Amino acid sequence: MDPRRARVDEDRLNPAPPPDADEATLGGYRAIHGRVPAFAGPGGHPYTVDVVIEPEGEAWVGYVVILRWSSDGRRVLAHRDSPVLVRAATAADAEAALRALRLSDVKCLVDTVWSDDEDVPCSDKPC
């Protein structure tokens, strides 16, 4: 194999994150690892989370979509959307606000959205 080709593939699979990427945020994690974060959640299932931005009237709204995977991680079993988390004047502003979410708060959303119990403890602050 041509070593130059291998380097191109490696860059595509492991992009260089911006120097200010914060691994503890949704966007920073994705920038550093080149994939969305995964969490263990209710029922012992793995879950992944990504952002969704949609126009609403003259503004933009953003929420996260949470995928529940099979225990072996080979197929998606179901998905749920969080409540709207962001309203912004532009799509870029809405996306930036979602990508700035702390992973600890995203994990709380996973537990809350997928729990049958409305009183799932998240952390010392509300989701």
Please report, for the chain, the start and end positions of each structural domain, with discontinuous segments joined by +.
3-114
Convert the pLDDT of each residue in 83-125 to its tens digit. Answer: 999 999 999 999 999 999 999 999 999 999 988 644 434 443 3
Structure tokens at 20: 């200010």
Residue 16 clears pLDDT 90, i.e. is over it: no
Among residues 57, 80, 58, 61, which one has the least CA distance to residue 69?
A: 80
pLDDT of residue 80: 94
Structure tokens at 64: 């996260």
Helices (H), the chain: 3-13, 26-33, 91-99, 103-114
pLDDT of residue 119: 41
Query: Which region, left, alpha or beta, applies to residue 75 given φ > 0 means left and ψ of -120 to 50 means alpha?
Result: beta
Convert the pLDDT of each residue in 47-83 to its tens digit. Answer: 999 999 999 999 999 999 999 999 888 999 999 999 9
Residue 39 clears pLDDT 80, i.e. is over it: yes
Question: What 3-state DSSP class applies to 36?
Answer: coil
